[in-house]
Amino acid sequence: MKTVYDFTVKDRQGQEVGLSKYQGKVLLIVNTATGCGFTPHYEPLEAMYKDLRDRGLEILDFPCNQFAGQAPGSDEEIHEFCTLKFGTEFPQFAKIDVNGETADPLFAFLASEKPFEGFGKGLKNAALNKFAAMNNKKYGEKTYIGWNFTKFLIDREGKVVARFEPTVDMSEVRAAVEAAL
């Protein structure tokens, strides 16, 4: 059975990194953007990382510019923004695509393990659903991720155990991470 440990990604310097490096850790893999309404998620993500990394948590950050062009900077500009504005210390990788023909294989795998089921109920979520549907129309059946700050929880064996859309309250994400630890 395939796990996240079977994948290789690129770090900010363009070097290949095997995710097997994280074997035995609980992972939270996130596609991010610096100019999104959900960008403030960096704050609770970093707080969770500081509180729980000694218990085996790693947060892996993958910037993506496919959602209304909300991550337009270079890998270094994005990293500088995140470290200066939010004090992020968790690993940040090279900017990737998460949808379409050029989607990173890791995100295609994550989404096949835990497919998109919607943003939830409520007016705000319905508005995001409509906006995301327009944005993602161009990716057709290769739309794996609905929007920025989609989070995938990976257990210590490398299996995808949960998916959290950006509309899920971060306290719920943290509770699931703590339970996985």
Task: List active site positions.
Answer: 36
Helix (H, G, I), strand (E, B) or coil at 7: coil
Q: What is the DSSP letter of 26?
A: E
| CA 164/CA 38 separation, integer angstroms | 13
| CA 10/CA 54 separation, integer angstroms | 24
Q: What is the DSSP letter of 97?
A: -
**CA dihedral angle for residue 142, residue 144, residue 83, residue 60, rounded to 10 degrees:** -110
| CA 176/CA 46 separation, integer angstroms | 16
Q: How far is CA 167 from CA 40, 118, 123, 128, in A?
A: 12, 10, 12, 9
